Structure 1
Amino acid sequence: MLRTFALCTALALAPLPALAHKVIFSVFKSGDQVEGELGFSNGDMAVGQLVEVFGSDGSKLGEATTDQYGFFTYVPTTPVAHLFKANLGAGHIAEDMLPAEDIAAILGVAAVEETLASPEASPSPAGSSVTVASLTEEERLVIATAVRDEMRPLRRELAAYREQNDLQTILGGLGYICGLFGLGFYLAARRRLAG
């Protein structure tokens, strides 16, 4: 009985493994440039981090630096696939690829203007139709900036949620529960055999 108690105490006091965090790194088209986000799954963002940009042949195309929120922008110049890399130290290497089709779309190689609404199909509440072509470049930039600013916290929260509720965490919790039940059954069986 004393050995069982000592074993249970030793297991309870044993150091638990450190909770690791993953690197969150994503790049996406944003108007006439590429925008990216770099940080960790625990919510810490990589501030002032160098992000290098490479072509599909491995040649360096350029670089960018993250701002105080872990975001960066890069303006591509050639319609090839872009590989974005960041070395955060301690074995944290982040990589993300933007395909050549997306870069070509940013550069306007295959850009097609679409209307948001047609006057015949669905009039706007004010009675006038608004199309992408009728917006000035300044209005487009204001709208794109507002949408990006609103999407940033949502993207960060979604990545943190995915990290916290992954399958490994769920299975680990179930394993702990099964282990505790197994320990309880073992102790109950020992008592029954001893008494």
Structure 2
Amino acid sequence: MIRACVLFLALLAPLPALAHNVISSVFPSGSDIEGEVGFSNGDMAADLLIEVFDAAGAKLGETRTDADGFFLFTPASPVTHVFRGDLGAGHVAEIRMEAAEVAQIMGESPIETAPAATGTTAPAAAAGLSDQSRAELARMLRTELRPLRQELTAFKNKSDFQSILGGIGYIFGLFGLGFYIAARRKIGSSA
């Protein structure tokens, strides 16, 4: 009887789904907005159409991801940008970059900023870098940081999956303890 109950409960227990999550992010990259789209298993969305909208839903433009799932978009106005890509099978990536961040990328002052202190200079200007040197340096940094961003996102998703499996293990352990106690009581009452 107990074996039949255990078998029945095992069949009813939900099995962990081996699903994957959509990973997506945007960040400033010189005078552009750079982003990435892919899945938590490491598969990146190559040649995916990314549509760009403002906060009200008006289309601002579109771009495509490269073979590594990265895209670049040059903003034309300092408004909130919403990047949306349909990866199929119900997976939609949607990422926002607020207007204040877009204004900083464009070299404009955000509306809610404090007045700038006098007598300060930008670090790049103090170092004497030309615009071309700064652009080349930004490109090199983007290229070098891409794998690091992907590894961090994959690690974050892996940690979440391990936590879920650990929780399921605790639940099964508690059920096992309950069955052990019930069996001991049954053996003790029949003796």
TM range (shorter): 0.7 to 0.9
TM-score (normalizing by structure 1): 0.79
CA distance in 2 between partners of 1:184 and 1:154 (Å) = 47
CA-atom RMSD in angstroms: 2.5
CA distance in 2 between partners of 1:194 and 1:173 (Å) = 32
1:190 equivalent in structure 2: 186
1:41 equivalent in structure 2: 40
Q: 1:131 aligns with which of 122, 126, 129?
A: 126
Q: 1:183 to 1:57 in 2, by over 3 A?
A: same
% of aligned pairs identical? Answer: 41
Correspondence list, 1:153-168, <5 A: 153-166=147-160, 168=164
Is 1:171 the equivalent of 2:167?
yes
Q: 1:106 to 1:8 in 2, by over 3 A?
A: same
TM-score (normalizing by structure 2): 0.80
SS in 1 for 2:123: coil
Over residues 139-168 of structure 1, what are the superposed CA-to-partner deviations in whole Å (9 max), with x where a residue is unaligned?
222221222122212211221222222354
1:123 equivalent in structure 2: none
| Length, aligned pairs only | 179
Q: 1:39 to 1:180 in 2, by over 3 A?
A: farther
Q: 1:9 to 1:57 in 2, by over 3 A?
A: closer
Q: CA deviation at 1:176?
A: 2.9
Amino acid paired to 1:80:
V
Unpaired segments of 5 or more residues in structure 1? 117-129
Q: CA deviation at 1:10?
A: 4.9
Q: 2:176 aligns with which of 176, 180, 183?
A: 180
Correspondence list, 1:56-75, <5 A: 56-75=55-74
